[in-house]
């Protein structure tokens, strides 16, 4: 059972455009939602995270939007750059689960110059 569903699998965006990646979850006990960025040959790196008591969090060009009632959250990358080309993973965890992460399947983003 896939508890965090991520879409799209891949995404091509022009430089300067907005990249949008969506995730949906099933477990209402999830209370922490991080996004990770992974470059080839590297481990996932934490990008930005949100808790369900806020609907939006922004850090630089990266914004998480969170819809608790719909059990969905999304990552927006504004002014996308070729250096943003990477695989992005959404994840979720519960406090009772000792913060172990359940990951989405990932989105491969390519930002064309």
Partner 1 sequence: DSGVTQTPKHLITATGQRVTLRCSPRSGDLSVYWYQQSLDQGLQFLIQYYNGEERAKGNILERFSAQQFPDLHSELNLSSLELGDSALYFCASSGGQRNQPQHFGDGTRLSIL
The site for partner 1 (CB under 8 A) is made up of 31-32, 34, 36, 41-46, 49, 51, 89, 93, 95, 97-106
Q: Could you tell me the smallest distance in angstroms from the CB atom of residue 66 to partner 1?
A: 15
Nearer to partner 1, 41 or 113 (CB): 41
Q: Residue 48 or 110: which CB sits closer to partner 1?
A: 48
**Coil, strand or helix at 82:** helix
Q: How far is the CB of 19 from partner 1 (least distance, A)?
A: 20
Residue whose tokens read 């989105």: 107
Nearer to partner 1, 18 or 45 (CB): 45
**Nearest CB to partner 1, comparing residues 80 and 92:** 92
Residue 72's H or E segment, with its range, is strand 72-77
Phi first, then psi: what are they for 86, rounded to 5°? -175, 180
Residues facing 87 on adjacent strands: 38, 108
Q: What's the Cα-to-Cα distance from 63 to each of 21, 36, 71, 97, rounded to whole Å?
A: 11, 13, 17, 26
Q: Could you tell me the smallest distance in angstroms from the CB atom of residue 17 to partner 1?
A: 26
């Amino acid at each position: 059972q896939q508890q965090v569903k991520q879409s799209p699998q891949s995404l091509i965006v022009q430089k300067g455009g907005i990249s949008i990646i969506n995730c949906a979850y099933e477990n209402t006990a999830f209370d922490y939602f991080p996004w990770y960025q992974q470059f080839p040959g590297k481990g996932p790196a934490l990008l930005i995270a949100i808790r369900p008591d806020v609907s939006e969090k922004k850090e630089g060009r990266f914004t998480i939007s969170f819809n608790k009632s719909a059990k969905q959250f999304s990552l927006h990358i504004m002014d996308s750059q070729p250096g943003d080309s990477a695989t992005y993973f959404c994840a979720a965890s519960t406090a009772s689960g000792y913060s172990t992460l359940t990951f989405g399947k990932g989105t491969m983003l390519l930002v064309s110059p």
